[in-house]
Structures are given as C-alpha cells and as structure tokens.
Amino acid sequence: MHALVFIKQVPDASQVRVNYETGTLIREGVPAILNPFEAHAVEEAVKLREKYGGKVTVLTMGPPQATEALKECLSRGADKAYLLSDRVFAGSDTLATSYALFEGAKKIIELEGEVDLFFAGKQAIDGDTAQTGPGIATRFDVPLVTYLIKLDEVNFEKKQAVATRLTEFGQETLQVPLPAFFTVEETLNELSHSPLPWLIKAARSKIEKLSSENVKLDLEQCGLRHSPTKVKKAFTPEKRQRGETLTGSVEELVQKTSDILMPFLKKGL
Amino acid sequence: MGETIDLTKKDHEISHYKNIWVFMEQTDGVAHPVSFELLTKARELAKQLDCQVGAVSIGKAVSHLAKEAFRFGADKFYIVEDEIFKDYRTEPFRDALSKLVLKYKPEIFLIGATTQGRDLSGSVATELRTGLTADTTKQEIDPETGMLLMTRPTFGGSLMATIVCPKDRPQMSTVRPGVFKAIPVEHPKEGEIIRGKTTLTEDRIVKKILKKVVSSEGNINLGFYDVIVAGGKGMGNKDNFNLIKELAELLGGTWAGSRKAVELGFIPQSRQVGQTGQTVHPKLYIACGISGAIQHLVGMQTSDVIISVNTDENAPVFDVSTYCIVEDAIKFIPGLITELKKQKLTPVKNER
C-alpha cells in the first residue's frame, strides 16, 4: 500500500489579526500550523499502513518553513516527507498549485512507486477554496471522492475502495477503483497520540527536497504570471461594533428581546 | 477515464466568449435553490454586458427544469440528459459540462458553492484550464474592462479579496447559497432549449454509487436558514440544548453550536458553526452561552443581527453582537420561549 497525502502549512487563521488602518493582515507572531483537515488525512493513511503494511508519503508545496508541517506529519506516522519549493511557484493560484503538485506527485511516483490512495484535506483553512484536491484528481484522471467521512473498505487485491462521503442532503457510499483521490472531513477519524518511537524517528528524518531542478516542469503553467486568477485588491471588511447592551431583570430582558424579535415573527392564530 | 476532452480545441481568443451561464444543480430532478439565486444575479450582470443568460442542467430527466430556468430569467436552457447522469458523479458531470463550455464558450460561468458545486467546479475549471474563484459574496462587472470582479472572504473572513480572471475564459466562480436573492422575472419568456449529447456509457464509468442516505441530521446546510440559534459550553448539558432547539423552532430557524458544544457532545459536528464547521450569515443569529472564540466568530460575524446571551460581560462574542444580554442563557431562554408562546407568534418565513 502506498498512500500519498497532500498537505498544506497554513497560518492559524484564528490568530491572524487585521490592521484596519492599512487594510493588511498582521502575520507577525501568527503560528503556522498543519492544515487541520490534513492531520486527519495523514491519520487515515497511517491507519491503513498499520493494517495493510506499505508506506505513507506526504507532499507539500511551500516555502522552506513548511518543513515544520511536514515534520508534524512524520511524527504522526508518515514514512517520508517531500517539500516542493521553488521561486517559480510564487504567487500560484489554485490551478497553478494543482499543476505543481501534480508534477511533484509524478516525481514521487517515479521515486517511491505507484500510489494507491491520494489524500488531502477537504480544504485549507486559510484559502478555504477546496479546489486544489479536485484539481490534482482531474489532472491524474483518477476518481475523486470529496468530503470523505468513512473509508468503509479498501481491497488491494481487487484494487478498489468503498467510501462514504457527505452530500448536500445526507451521505452516499461509493465504490471506486484504486488509485483514487480522497479529500477528507475532520469527522473521518480521531487523531491519536503518536508513540514515542515515531516522534524520535520524525526528529531524525530528513525532508526530501523537490524543485525545478529535479522535477520536470512546464514553466508556462507555474507561479503568479501563469495563474489565471489575480488578486485585484484586498481589503478589510468593516469592523463590527459592539452593539447595545440590554439591561434589567430576566423578565425585562425577555420583554426587550421579544420586541427585537418581532420583525422575524407574526401573530399566529 | 471519462470522455476525452480535447483541450487543443479550446478557443483561446477571449473575445469569442460571450454570455453568462449558471449551473442548475439538481438532485432527483429538484433544483437547488442556489440555482435561482445565481440566475437572478446573472440577469443583472447580463444587462450590464448586454448578453444572454444560459442555464445548464445535467441529469437523467431534467427537461422540466427549463421552465423554472426561464421563470428566473434564463434566455437559453442547455441540457444533457442520460441515464448515466441519474445521480451526481464528479467525472461524467465534469466531462459533459466541460464539453458544453468548449462548444458554446460562455464568458462567465457561475456555480453554487454547495458540496456538489464545489466538487464539480474545481474539476471543471482544471479540465478547462481556467480560473475559478470560490465562495464569492459579491459579483460585479468592471465598467472599464467588462471583466467580472469576484469578491470573496479569505483568512476566515478577516480579509476580503477581489479576484479577476483577465486572460482565461470562462471566468468561473462559486457562490454560497443564500448570498443572493432569488427573484423571478415578471413576464417570463419561453427560451430556447439546446440539447447536448454524451457518448459516455455506464460501463465506462468506474465510480459506482452503492448507497444514498438522505438525512436531516447527517449534513445539514445551515446556510439555508434565515434564523440560527446556537449554543455553547454555557448551555451546561445536552438536555439544556433542547431549549436551543425549541427556540429555533419557534423562530422558524434551525439550531447549531460552537466547537465546544461539539466537543462536549451537545451537538453533532455537522451543526458546528465556525472555522472548522460552517460559515453562516443568517438574518438573525442568537448565540447562547457561547463566549466567542475567534474560530467561532469568523463563522457567524457577517449575520445581519446578532443577539448574544452570556454571563460574562467581557465575552468576545459581545464585540460582534447587535444586542448584548449579560445573563445566564439557561435562565433567560425558558422565559423567552414562554413569552413567544404566550403571544402566539409564528415565524415570518422558513427556509431560504
């Protein structure tokens, strides 16, 4: 079994503050974390390896600092971690990102062997686009299963998987041949604590580097210049002000609140 | 795997692309409300661009949706019908839609940011090698360039970005349900129906649907509701959460909660509002016993009216609240429920 997990290092969006004067983000001191959904993706891949044997490889595209997120994946049990980092990728939108990761993944397949299951989080918490996973799956032309909540069955002999995903109105269970691409929900599994040997191994492991030097790239599809979408402007939404504080006894508060709720209600019969 | 899309046939001359398309999402022949919201918006944009609006639907039997599309202002209805499209599956839908786009060259293509729409749009945009902007909350035409200006929140809502797609077509974006209003046209006109074909057959589709479970609990879309009553740690226990549910019902809305409420087992994760849950912007959001960690606030701070009930007057949730009630929610809500019942009030309207 070979699982390849695409991960992203993200700023902890909950700690990003905005400078309302300049309309920019204050990133200083904001910790970078492993995209929470991808912690679950790694967890699932590692669970499969524990059951069936094989290996789990992780890949990210990002600046050298993204090494930290890869190390976390190793401590969560991944076997090998690749960092795809190059200045040619700077400013990539989702289309250019899925291209870069696709080429990076092809290189990993060359080095590590065929992949049975591709995983990624359902989205990253900074961009929230949920586009890169489907993008990579489309480029590989493998079946895509988004919003995965359960891997019911993986059969390596038949080379197929049965998986349950969320839909708009409930759930559906799909059968797909392997290799397939899964983007995962947090509810897929519970994160487990890493055993000490994994932590030690992670600390000693080195991160494999990929760049335009060792990955074959069409530079016409990389980076800001070749990204179809451009940010025209960025601005801060109007800051919400603290409103009126209602005072009085519980009865008075109830009365006041019921008045406020009037526009949402009408007299019944 | 599916039908081969010949990208060498893609027309790169952007002036050849015209008209605005809306994907009419449907499940078992029932259109998703977001389709009508998008058609309404598309009409407005088409007026500025002096072009037509096309609705596109793919399914097993979806011809009846043409009438609904025309009612919301579509000039044309593009349709691909086949048994293989009975249930949504990424790959056949992606291929059918991509082929239509290559053939008819819409300038703008809008898709609902639903689970289906997000799954589909990322795949189609990649297939077509064009730009896609997710979860936009504002769509305008730049009067100078005629380009679509797509504005979306990013970094959990703390920053807004306006995105353009200058050199590739179509300009694609997804829009969350409930962002735009759906308004039917006064005098609907019977438009043209254009049928596409597929050469795909079931034996060539590798993905099979084994089981479908429709549940209200499994994956509720909180975005459908005008009123959301949410509870947090301050609700104390799961039983007290029934107060939240009762109040939500009285107000014609639905109930939700914070991450803490999920962790404490009060509510399922499917009803979590916030960074790792759902982002909502209802007309009314009532936060009960929620202190308002920033992860929660980013998921609800764009609600029209926010009423918060919390014992701690310094709770961060009050910083984004229209009305602040410094009181124990467990004492306050029963009184409010009794009062609303006494006045025999019913909700103005239900789901969006």
- Residue A110 falls inside a structural domain: yes
Residues B123 and B179 in one domain: yes
- Residue B73 falls inside a structural domain: yes
Confidence class for position A269, pLDDT limits 50, 70, 90: very low
Residue A205 tokens read as 């492991």
- Residue A120 falls inside a structural domain: yes
pLDDT score for A248? 93
Name which of A127, A138, A242 is nearest B126 (Cβ-Cβ).
Answer: A138
Residues B199 and B137 in one domain: yes
Residues B13 and B118 in one domain: yes
Residue of B30, B155, B212 best to disrupt the A interface, most CBs of A under 10 A: B155
Taking 3-state DSSP, the helix, strand and coil percentages for chain B, each rounded to the nearest 5, stand at 35, 25, 40
CB B131 within 8 A of CB A228: yes
pLDDT score for A24? 64
Residues B159 and B252 in one domain: no
pLDDT score for A240? 81
Mean pLDDT of B2-23: 86
Residues B165 and B227 in one domain: no
Confidence class for position B106, pLDDT limits 50, 70, 90: very high
Cα dist from B76 to A196, A211, B52, B103, B195, whole Å: 63, 47, 8, 15, 11
Q: What is the residue-averaged pLDDT of chain A?
A: 92
Residue B99 tokens read as 């082929």
CB B105 within 8 A of CB B12: no
Nearest chain A residue to B32 by CA distance is A168
Task: Please determine, for residue A20, whether its predicted confidence score (pLDDT) is greater than 70.
Answer: no
In whole angstroms, give the CA distance from residue B133 to residue B143: 20
pLDDT score for A237? 75
Mean pLDDT of B214-243: 86
Confidence class for position B117, pLDDT limits 50, 70, 90: very high
CB A89 within 8 A of CB A223: yes
Q: Which residues pair with A210 in a beta bridge?
A: A84
- Residue A172 falls inside a structural domain: yes
Query: What amino acid occupies position B77?
Result: F
User: Look-up: residue for tokens 């649907």?
Assistant: B209
Name which of B210, B218, B319 is nearest A242 (Cβ-Cβ).
Answer: B319
Mean pLDDT of A171-184: 97
Confidence class for position A11, pLDDT limits 50, 70, 90: confident
Query: What amino acid occupies position A217?
Result: L
CB contact under 8 A, A174 and B168: no
**Domain total in chain A:** 1
Residues B172 and B26 in one domain: yes
Cα dist from A132 to A28, A216, B247, whole Å: 27, 20, 40
- Residue B212 falls inside a structural domain: no
In whole angstroms, give the CA distance from residue A85 to residue A16: 24
Q: Which residues pair with B345 in a beta bridge?
A: A267
Peptide bond into A36 cis (omega under 30): no
Confidence class for position A201, pLDDT limits 50, 70, 90: very high
Q: Which residues pair with B257 in a beta bridge?
A: B231, B272
Phi-psi region of A103 (alpha: psi -120 to 50; beta: other; left: phi over 0): alpha
Sheet holding B53-59, edge to edge: B132-136, B171-175, B108-112, B20-23, B53-59, B76-81, B192-195
Lowest-confidence segment of A124-133, B49-58, B251-260 by average pLDDT: A124-133
Lowest-confidence segment of A184-188, B223-227, B248-252 by average pLDDT: B223-227
pLDDT score for A51? 97
A73-115 pLDDT tens trace: 999 999 999 999 999 999 999 999 999 999 999 999 999 999 9
- Residue B217 falls inside a structural domain: no
Inform me whether the C-beta atom of residue A31 falls under 8 Å from chain B C-beta atoms: no
Final residue of a structural domain among B178, B204, B230: B204
Please list every residue in chain A whose beta carbon sits closer than 8 Å to the beta carbon of residue B308: none
- Residue A147 falls inside a structural domain: yes
Lowest-confidence segment of A237-246, B58-67, B248-257, B321-330 by average pLDDT: A237-246
- Residue B109 falls inside a structural domain: yes
Residues B172 and B252 in one domain: no
Task: List, as own/partner pairs, every contact residues B60-66 make where C-beta atoms lie below 8 angstroms and the sequence separation is at least 24, other chains included.
Answer: B60/B29, B60/B85, B60/B86, B61/B29, B62/B24, B62/B26, B62/B29, B63/B193, B64/B29, B65/B24, B65/B26, B65/B29, B65/B31, B66/B191, B66/B193
Please list every residue in chain B whose beta carbon sits closer than 8 Å to the beta carbon of residue A144: 90-91, 119, 123
pLDDT score for B213? 87
User: Look-up: residue for tokens 């992860």?
Assistant: B295
Task: Please determine, for residue A217, whether its predicted confidence score (pLDDT) is greater than 90.
Answer: yes
Mean pLDDT of B59-87: 97
Helix, strand or coil, per DSSP, at residue B31:
strand
Report strand pairing: B208-214 vs A170-177: antiparallel
In whole angstroms, give the CA distance from residue A259 to residue A247: 14
Q: What is the DSSP letter of B269?
A: G
pLDDT score for B105? 97
Instruction: For residue A231, give the nearest of B156, B298, B180, B166 by alpha carbon.
Output: B166
pLDDT score for A19? 67
A62-75 pLDDT tens trace: 999 999 999 999 99
Query: What is the number of CB-based contacts under 8 A between chain A and chain B?
Result: 283
Lowest-confidence segment of A12-26, A170-184, A186-200, B149-163 by average pLDDT: A12-26
**Domain total in chain B:** 2
pLDDT cut 90: percent of chain B above it: 74
- Residue B17 falls inside a structural domain: yes
Find the length of chain B.
352
Task: Report the first-to-last Cα separation within chain B, whole angstroms.
Answer: 38
What is the domain-level CATH number for residue A67?
3.40.50.620
Instruction: Look up the domain containing A136 and give its range.
Output: 2-226
Smallest Cα distance from B185 to chain A, Å:
26
Task: Please determine, for residue A16, whether its predicted confidence score (pLDDT) is greater than 60.
Answer: yes
Write the burial class of residue B47 (CB in 10 Å: 0-12 exposed, 13-18 middle, 19+ buried). Answer: exposed
- Residue B179 falls inside a structural domain: yes
Residues B198 and B323 in one domain: no
- Residue A204 falls inside a structural domain: yes
What is the domain-level CATH number for residue B315?
3.40.50.1220
Name which of A125, A141, A233 is nearest B1 (Cβ-Cβ).
Answer: A141
Task: Please determine, for residue A173, whether its predicted confidence score (pLDDT) is greater than 70.
Answer: yes
Task: Please determine, for residue B349, whether its predicted confidence score (pLDDT) is greater than 70.
Answer: no
B179-209 pLDDT tens trace: 788 899 999 999 999 999 999 999 999 999 9
A28-45 pLDDT tens trace: 778 899 999 999 999 999
pLDDT cut 70: percent of chain B above it: 95
Cα dist from B180 to B38, B139, B274, B286, whole Å: 7, 10, 21, 22
Smallest Cα distance from B78 to chain A, Å:
23
CB B166 within 8 A of CB B53: no
Residue B84 tokens read as 């293989």
What is the domain-level CATH number for residue B153?
3.40.50.620
Smallest Cα distance from A138 to chain B, Å:
6
- Residue B63 falls inside a structural domain: yes
CB B71 within 8 A of CB B173: no
Residue of A8, A10, A24, A131 best to disrupt the B interface, most CBs of B under 10 A: A131
Inform me whether the C-beta atom of residue A134 falls under 8 Å from chain B C-beta atoms: yes
Final residue of a structural domain among B174, B204, B234: B204
Angle between helices B115-128 and B90-104 (to 10 degrees): 50
Residues B55 and B190 in one domain: yes
Mean pLDDT of A5-10: 96
pLDDT score for A209? 98
Beta carbons within 10 angstroms of residue B197's beta carbon: 10
Residue A250 tokens read as 């519980």
Instruction: Look up the domain containing B327 and give its range.
Output: 222-341
- Residue B259 falls inside a structural domain: yes
Q: Which residues pair with B264 in a beta bridge?
A: none
Residues B21 and B95 in one domain: yes
Please list every residue in chain A whose beta carbon sits closer than 8 Å to the beta carbon of residue B211: 172-173
- Residue A262 falls inside a structural domain: no
Residues B139 and B191 in one domain: yes
pLDDT score for B350? 45
Alpha helices by DSSP H, chain A: 36-52, 67-75, 94-112, 132-140, 196-204, 250-261
Residues B116 and B174 in one domain: yes
Inform me whether the C-beta atom of residue A243 falls under 8 Å from chain B C-beta atoms: yes
Name which of B155, B163, B336 is nearest A232 (Cβ-Cβ).
Answer: B163
Task: Please determine, for residue B323, whether its predicted confidence score (pLDDT) is greater than 90.
Answer: yes
pLDDT cut 90: percent of chain A above it: 80
In whole angstroms, give the CA distance from residue B225 to residue B284: 9
Confidence class for position B78, pLDDT limits 50, 70, 90: very high
Residue, of B332 and B342, whose pLDDT is higher: B332
Helix, strand or coil, per DSSP, at residue B210:
strand
Inform me whether the C-beta atom of residue B155 falls under 8 Å from chain A C-beta atoms: yes
Q: What is the residue-averaged pLDDT of chain B?
A: 91
pLDDT score for A187? 87
pLDDT score for B155? 74
